[in-house]
Structure 1
């Protein structure tokens, strides 16, 4: 009798195991993009408007910094790039990119320094939403190897664009 009860219990348990599987759990949402994701972007391949003629050896990254430039909670990336050079230094371009945009197609918010201004970036600092770029440029009689005119350019967000402070 005991064997019979045990058999009935086992059959009942086995019958309950053949039911429908539980519904699949929804896959988690992809993680939110952050400005830190853009710091790892392939900037040398993404910058396509820097004129490195006549000797085009490509673009090289100077510096990149992440900061809240357009208000609290909104982080952006400031990037300085220049052309690869063998001898004399090449002027820099400094631009700001939306930190929430994809790393393979960053959205540029503005160009702070363009290479046609003929300035080299020595240092960038960002404090309380203000970008300060220490530069050095060429005096009229400077040779191409040796710029001699230091200057600092500062920029802030106006609500719709970056403006010189």
Structure 2
């Protein structure tokens, strides 16, 4: 058997003091890293030399207890997706809700509504309809980023297409401009 060229080292056999030293070192690194945190990330582009804007301090409007302009008959309106952000630049967040009737079967069409709540208001209210359920669309890939609402909309090319099988896919984006939400279509309609 060939002998090692390196002599045995005393520290290769662990003792309790080694574990205490390691635990102390790890605790020190964790404590130090909690002090040094990166700045908060934002989705908004930064302007060089501009004053940073403070994050909204008011809470985003809740989606519960809101009357949605949706006729569901005997079933309730169901909020299936929601996202919040300052859409109009006033420093107060709005909530965007994707809502449809809680139908026991099938795929009911979605409505997309913008909610706001004034500083002294008791409950939120709908201030804009971005997608009307009468248009028979289902909303997927929904988000609010940097003041823009984006969604993928599944719909129908004609009234003859069954509700189970949407055959048109569109992407859409809405942004607050000139006192209203303006819709743009980032991509062309595609058949599914």
TM-score greater than 0.5 by the shorter chain: yes
Alignment of 1:66-81 (within 5 A): 66-71=84-89, 73-81=91-99
Pick aligned residue for 1:147 from 166, 180, 185: 166
Aligned to 1:6: none
User: 1:121 aligned to 2:139?
Assistant: yes
Q: What's the offset of the Cα at 1:136? A: 0.5
* 1:109 paired to 2:133: no
Partner of 2:187: none
Question: Which runs of 5 or more residues in structure 2 are unaligned?
Answer: 1-56, 185-192
Structure 1 match to 2:175: 156
SS in 2 for 1:116: helix
Residues of 2 paired with 1:143 and 1:64: CA distance?
27
Greater Rg by CA: 1
Identify if the C-alpha distance between structure 1 residues 117 and 102 changes in structure 2 by more than 3 Å, giving closer, same or farther. farther
Q: Which has the higher contact order (CA 8 A, sep 6+)?
A: 1
Name which of structure 1's ranges 98-107 and 59-68 shifts more when overlaid on structure 2.
98-107
**TM-score, length-scaled by structure 2:** 0.58
Q: CA, structure 1 residues 51+134, in 2 after alignment: closer, same or farther (shift >3 Å)?
A: same
In 2, Cα distance between the equivalents of 1:83 and 1:50? 8
Q: Deviations over 1:48-86 (max 9, x none)?
A: 420224xx3111111111111111623111111000112
Unaligned runs of 5+ in 1: 1-32
Q: Please report the RMSD computed on the Cα atoms of aligned residues, expressed in angstroms.
A: 2.4
Which has more strand, going by share of residues?
Answer: 1
Which residue is equivalent to 1:61? 79
Q: Distance in 2 between matches of 1:102 and 1:84?
A: 31
The 1-side partners of 2:112 and 2:140 are apart by 12
Q: Could you say if the C-alpha distance between residues 76 and 88 of structure 1 is closer, same or farther in structure 2, counting changes exceeding 3 Å? A: same
> Hey, what's the Cα distance between the residues in 2 that align with 1:103 and 1:85?
31
